[in-house]
Amino acid sequence: MKFFGRKKPMSALDSLRGAGWKCASCDLTHKGMFHLASFAPDFWEGPEEYEPNGAIRFDGDFLSEDFCVVGGEHFFVRCVFDIPVHGLAEKFGFGVWSTLSRANFQIYLDGFDEGTYANLGPWTGWFSNRLAPFGDTLNQPCWVHPQLARQRPVITLGNEEHDLASAQARGITPERVLELYAAYGHVVS
Ligand SMILES: [Zn+2]
């Protein structure tokens, strides 16, 4: 294809490397790669609103940026699912939620402010978001790896054959990152 007198369109890699691009849907100019995040576990049916982390309650329902409790018996933590991107040093991050046992949830809470934990797991959990571009991800068994220095826990899938696990193992193309953005409402105009 020829571009008569026009500048070559920006490549996906250029967009992710920091060339600004005007988003056709959210009206922002995105610069470089940014992370996507699930606001809450898919099981959350309460208001789309965060309470402060410090207000954590174990009974009933609770949602903050990092912690979630449903019905006083299901405990969730906000994690990061990292995916390498071909051609970039920085990884793409998906903010996602996993369940934890009550005991591990307590260990996480106890160490949260200091960023050091009684043990570093990994802790078992169930993946608690649907990431449609990667097939069926909800309730996949997963590992939650607590990180030191107040970084969010990193999550890996138990099933290495899963599409999401292989994306993490092999990386994805910059074009695929733009497809993910589009699936979540950010479109290159
Ligand atoms: Zn956008």
Whether 123 maps to a domain, the answer reads yes
Q: How many Å from the N-terminal Cα to the C-terminal Cα in the chain?
A: 20
Whether 18 maps to a domain, the answer reads no
CA of 107 to the centre of ligand 1 (A): 36
Residue 6 pLDDT > 60, yes or no?
no
Write the pLDDT tens digit of every residue in 25-77: 888 888 889 999 999 999 999 999 999 999 999 999 999 999 999 999 999 99
pTM above 0.85, yes or no: yes
CA of 135 to the centre of ligand 1 (A): 23
Share of the chain residues as helix, strand and coil, in percent rounded to the nearest 5: 20, 30, 50
Whether 28 maps to a domain, the answer reads no
For residue 1, the SS3 value is coil
Residue 4 pLDDT > 70, yes or no?
no
Whether 83 maps to a domain, the answer reads yes
CA of 147 to the centre of ligand 1 (A): 29
Residue with tokens 């068994």: 141
Contact 158, 144 (CB under 8 A): no
Structural domain count of the chain = 1
In sequence order, the β-bridge partners of residue 69 are 62, 75
Whether 77 maps to a domain, the answer reads yes
Burial class of residue 34, CB neighbours in 10 A (0-12, 13-18, 19+)? middle
